[in-house]
Amino acid sequence: MTATPPPPSESAAPASAPVGAPAASAATPAFSPLYQQIKVLMLQSLQSGEWKPSTAIPSEMDLAARFKVSQGTVRKAIDELAAENLLVRRQGKGTFVATHAEHHVQYRFLKLFPDNGDPNSEGPAQRQIIDCKRLRASTDVARALALRQGDAVLQVRRVLSFAKVPTILEDLWLPGTPFKGLTAERLRDYDGPMYALFETEFGVRMVRAEEKIRAVLPDTEQCALLQVNSQTPLLSVERTAYTYNDTPMEMRRGLYLTDTHYYRNTLN
């Protein structure tokens, strides 16, 4: 069992500077609100696996006693973690660690919707795993995954179809060590979302992502997989997904066919 870090005092204390950050001068010390310090401690429990996906975390009262702070302070920390989709409140049941296996978050990072606006109208996506192979990281993949060029990575290629129409072609790269043992057969045999597989079988939970979007035309191989011609405009979405502590765990390039679908994002 890992030792629990000493709780902060109820009077807000200076936060330690992030690794690599310049030290604050004596005249302008850096202070962090107490609830933010509690949030950091709770994130440590999530990252260490003390609180596992889909399980309940301790009550606000228990956490307040553990960290020696008020329940209001704990509640504010939980509110932020819930807003970031790391925790889920359930009325009358408590607060649970969010999981990609839950239906309402399965497609949290998939922003493509049918023109009728109802993501359930087409049923679940049909998935075709084209390939899963181990190779050496290229310069751009290594940079995105914070690896060294030539480090081992896994590359997965798959096609997602809706109503039997190929709609998304994805290539994704994963660091080799955390995903050791991942194969095309394992991906084909798993019935749930890919991120749920990463979470349950490899202990890697994607908590946020950054995307770059542009319009492109497909090459010959992409035309064949998506069953389109070379003049069909596609939406190219390049995503880097992160686990806790902003550690990159996936680089993904997707080509989206948008003649019957649209890309929707919510800005807060």
Domain locations in the chain as residue ranges: 34-97, 107-263
**Which pair of tokens denotes residue 216?**
């492109």
- Domains 34-97 and 107-263 equal at CATH topology level: no
| DSSP for residue 57 | P
- The answer to whether the beta carbons of residues 134 and 154 sit under 8 Å apart is yes
Per-residue pLDDT of the chain (268 residues; tens, 9 = 90+): 444 555 565 544 444 433 333 444 444 445 678 999 999 999 889 888 888 888 899 999 999 999 999 999 999 999 999 888 889 898 888 999 887 765 444 445 667 888 987 877 887 789 999 999 999 999 999 999 999 999 999 999 999 999 899 999 999 999 999 999 999 999 999 988 899 899 888 989 888 899 999 999 999 999 999 999 999 999 999 999 999 888 999 999 999 999 999 988 776 5
Q: 34-97 sits in which CATH class?
A: mainly alpha
Domain 107-263 part of CATH 3.10.20.30: no
- The answer to whether the beta carbons of residues 178 and 249 sit under 8 Å apart is yes
Note if the pTM is more than 0.75.
no
